[in-house]
Amino acid sequence: MSDCLFCKIIDGEIPSNKIYEDDKVLCFHDVNPQAPVHCLLIPKKHIASIDDVKEEDGELLSYIMLKIKEIAGKLGLDNGYRVVINCKEDGFQTVPHLHLHILGKRKMAWPPG
Ligand code: 5GP
Ligand code: ZN
């Protein structure tokens, strides 16, 4: 999607600090980290939010779920981590491209408010 920030990051139009990439997903460091480790795992397919997931996305979602532990291992989050998905306005979603926040290395109260 041409006016989507995360699609632009996928296309390389906007730079990101990449952690993992394959043909289906991209994981990169959050520009405004809320924990010592804070990255975003996104599908390369533009899905606006978890509310917009369709039956046909099932395989992609399970792929993403399985990638989490691989990325957490790569980041050394052996003691655990949080995975957060914000959904639309009341869920504090600010970028309308489905993303999973992976947060680690600190006990925290997040999101704020
Ligand atoms: P949301 O509030 O939508 O769940 O989270 C969006 C996240 O994207 C925020 O944590 C924000 O810091 C991050 N973010 C926004 N713009 C950029 C950007 O241009 N680059 C990166 N790496 N992260 C971004
Ligand atoms: Zn997008």
Tens of pLDDT, residues 39-49: 999 999 999 99
Query: Does the Cβ of 81 fall within 6 Å of ligand 1?
Result: no
User: What tokens appear for 54 in the block?
Assistant: 């369709």
Do residues 8 and 69 make contact, with C-beta atoms less than 8 angstroms apart? no
Q: Would you give the DSSP letter of residue 8?
A: H
36 pLDDT tier (thresholds 50, 70, 90): very high
Q: Is 85 in the pocket of ligand 1 (CB under 6 A)?
A: no
pTM reported for the whole predicted model:
0.95
The architecture (CATH level 2) of 5-104 comes to 2-Layer Sandwich (3.30)
Q: Which residue ranges make up each domain of the chain?
A: 5-104
Residue from 28, 51, 95 whose mutation best tests the ligand 1 pocket (most atoms within 8 A of CB)? 95
Quick: pLDDT tens for 6-27. 999 999 999 999 999 999 999 9
Give Cα separations from 25 to 6, 22, 41, 60, 100 (angstroms): 11, 6, 7, 9, 11
Q: What is the pLDDT averaged over residues 45-57?
A: 98
Active site (catalytic) residues:
99
Q: Compute the average pLDDT of residues 49-75.
A: 98
Residue 113 pLDDT more than 60? no
Ligand nearest to the CA of 13: 1
